């Protein structure tokens, strides 16, 4: 794979398979590696990067519709990943993947704009937003024609993207000559199939958005951690029943637990419900407490940044 994490042309499939086989870090491992990397340990930085190469590939794949070589997109995504590793501060409380996402996406978008010679036109943040979201917004609004947008549609698109109408016009005109986006394609094996644009054919509308996925994973980890802590409020018997009925796959039967404790099925069920209610209440309390702490830390950090500015 090479020490710079860059796939050679024509070996994308092999590279992606190799990346997918790399182990995912536990939160504690990531924290330790992040701290070590911040102290200048290059081996820790290397491990942090390699364990997140699959994220770079996932982001790069979202930009395949611009007709650029996949290997080049992945290379730029990896450069963004390395930049993120250089700047990551694990003490700020968020996962590396969440932080790296922004650096990876920025690197890939800058490459796309640079390659399509848009930088010369002055690629402001508003222009980038319009350029990379115009096709999506047009689909949402049911705009199915090419060329300059009609006044009504121009206004609607600008409103949805929170940019000026002139910015939308610039982005729209820059996209028009790009046949890799606008060329009509169809499935030759399926006669009469709906004609699509390349950008539609390459996009998987059912795919999980990686940013949403990362947020969901982190939230899930927090809930799991809170629930494990909440188990401490249960006495040994209720904990055993709760774990057997709620945390075991497949769950143990009421009959088996009834025989183990010498209690009726109904009593086991009552104890299970009582345990669940206690754990649920405690979990909610712990999650609310964590949220308050994060908000307080964010406020404190903002205050420091304000005074440091």
88 in the same domain as 37: yes
Residue 228: CATH number of its domain: 1.10.10.10
Cβ atoms of 25 and 141 within 8 Å: the answer is no
Side-chain half-sphere of 260: how many Cα atoms within 13 Å? 12
149 in the same domain as 106: no
Residue 60: CATH number of its domain: 1.20.120.1810
The count of structural domains within the chain is 3
- Give me the domain span that covers residue 177: 121-186+194-202
- Last residue of some domain: 154, 176, 202? 202
DSSP label at residue 102: H
pLDDT at 301: 57
Whether residue 230 has pLDDT greater than 80: yes
**Is 29 a member of any domain?**
yes
Q: What is the pLDDT of residues 22-43, one digit of tens each?
A: 888 888 899 999 999 989 898 9
136 in the same domain as 105: no
Q: Where are the beta strands (DSSP E) in 85-211?
A: 184-185, 196-197
**Is 256 a member of any domain?**
yes
The residues, ordered by sequence, that sit 6+ positions from 180 with a Cβ below 8 Å of its Cβ are 65, 66, 67, 198
**Is 109 a member of any domain?**
yes
For residues 103 and 80, give the distance between their C-alpha atoms in angstroms, rounded to a whole number: 5
pLDDT band at 234, cuts 50/70/90? very high
Mean pLDDT of 132-151: 76
Q: What is the pLDDT of residues 70-98, one digit of tens each?
A: 888 898 899 899 988 988 888 877 788 88
Residue 156: CATH number of its domain: 1.10.10
153 in the same domain as 63: no
């Amino acid at each position: 794979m090479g020490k710079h994490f860059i796939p050679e042309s024509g070996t994308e499939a092999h590279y992606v398979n190799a990346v997918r086989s790399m182990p995912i870090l536990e939160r504690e491992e990531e924290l330790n590696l992040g701290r070590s990397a911040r102290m200048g340990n290059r081996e820790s930085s290397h491990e942090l990067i390699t364990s997140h190469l699959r994220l770079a590939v996932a982001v790069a794949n979202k930009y395949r519709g611009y007709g650029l070589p996949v290997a080049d997109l992945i290379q730029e995504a990896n450069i963004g990943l390395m930049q993120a590793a250089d700047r990551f501060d694990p003490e700020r409380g968020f996962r590396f993947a969440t932080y790296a996402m922004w650096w990876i996406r920025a690197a890939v978008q800058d490459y796309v704009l640079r390659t399509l010679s848009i930088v010369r036109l002055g690629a402001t943040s508003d222009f980038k937003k319009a350029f990379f979201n115009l096709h999506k917004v047009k689909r949402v609004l049911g705009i199915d024609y090419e060329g300059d947008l009609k006044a009504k549609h121009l206004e609607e698109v600008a409103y949805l993207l929170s940019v000026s109408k002139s910015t939308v016009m610039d982005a729209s005109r820059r996209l028009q000559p790009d046949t890799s986006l606008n060329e009509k394609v169809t499935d030759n094996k399926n006669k009469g199939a709906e004609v699509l644009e390349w950008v539609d054919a390459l996009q998987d509308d059912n795919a999980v958005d990686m940013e949403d996925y990362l947020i969901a994973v982190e939230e899930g980890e927090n809930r799991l951690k809170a629930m494990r802590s909440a188990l401490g409020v249960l006495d040994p018997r209720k904990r055993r029943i709760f774990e057997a009925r709620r945390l075991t796959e497949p769950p143990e039967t009421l009959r088996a637990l009834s025989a183990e404790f010498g209690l009726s099925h109904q009593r086991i069920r009552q104890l299970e419900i009582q345990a669940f209610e206690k754990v649920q209440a405690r979990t909610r309390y712990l999650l609310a407490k964590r949220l308050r702490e994060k908000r307080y830390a964010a406020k404190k950090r903002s205050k420091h940044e304000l005074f440091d500015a």
